Amino acid sequence: DIKSNFDFLRKNIEILKSKGIRVSLFVEPNLKSIEQAKKVGADRIELYTYYYAKNYYNDKCSAVKKYIMASKHAKKMGIGLNAGHDLSLSNLRFFNRSVVDLLEVSIGHALISDSIYYGFENTIQMYKKELN
């Protein structure tokens, strides 16, 4: 909730950035959150992709729609874009190809889980393939 924590976030983001630390805020894929993240001084946002992953198998085009809109707005606002939560080998490629200017994805949980079955080095290569 950026709006309710605006002063706290702004103060602490300034401290982090003064030390050369890039700041990303984890947000819902809505225009207001992106605008607030920019106002508070964040360098990037990370879109919460749980709802995309949850609805991916029902209708992937509908599932990604608000993320596409959010990514375009982030680009317009001049804030970097990351995404994460429940992204996996099965849904990552479509998301990456649909969402513009995606800089990073948080895939740690899925990557570690997949590495149990496929091995760590192989799993990393599989994820890299999905992102290319």
Give the per-residue pLDDT at 5. Answer: 96
Q: Is the pLDDT of residue 83 over 90?
A: yes
108, pLDDT greater than 90? no
pLDDT, tens digit, 9 for 90 and up, residues 2-14? 999 999 999 999 9
Per-residue model confidence as pLDDT tens digits over 61-79 = 999 999 999 999 999 999 9
H/E stretch holding 94 reads helix 92-98
Cα–Cα distance between 19 and 28 in angstroms, integer?
27
* pLDDT confidence bin for 43, thresholds 50/70/90: very high
Rounded distance between C-alpha atoms, residue 122 and residue 70, angstroms = 32
Distance from C-alpha of 63 to C-alpha of 80, rounded to nearest angstrom: 21
H or E stretch covering 75:
helix 60-77
Beta-bridged to residue 27, according to DSSP, are: 47
Statement: the pTM of the whole predicted model exceeds 0.85: yes
CA pair distance 66, 6, nearest whole angstrom: 24
Cβ neighbours of residue 62 under 8 Å, at least 6 residues apart? Answer: 55
Give the bridge partners for 25, in sequence order.
45
**pLDDT value for 41:** 97
User: Looking at residue 54, what is its pLDDT?
Assistant: 97
Q: Nearest Cα to 70, choosing from 29, 111, 110, 37? A: 29
User: Residue 100 pLDDT more than 90?
Assistant: no
Question: Tell me, what DSSP letter sits at residue 86?
Answer: S
pLDDT-based confidence at 103, cuts 50/70/90?
very high
Supply the pLDDT for residue 3: 93
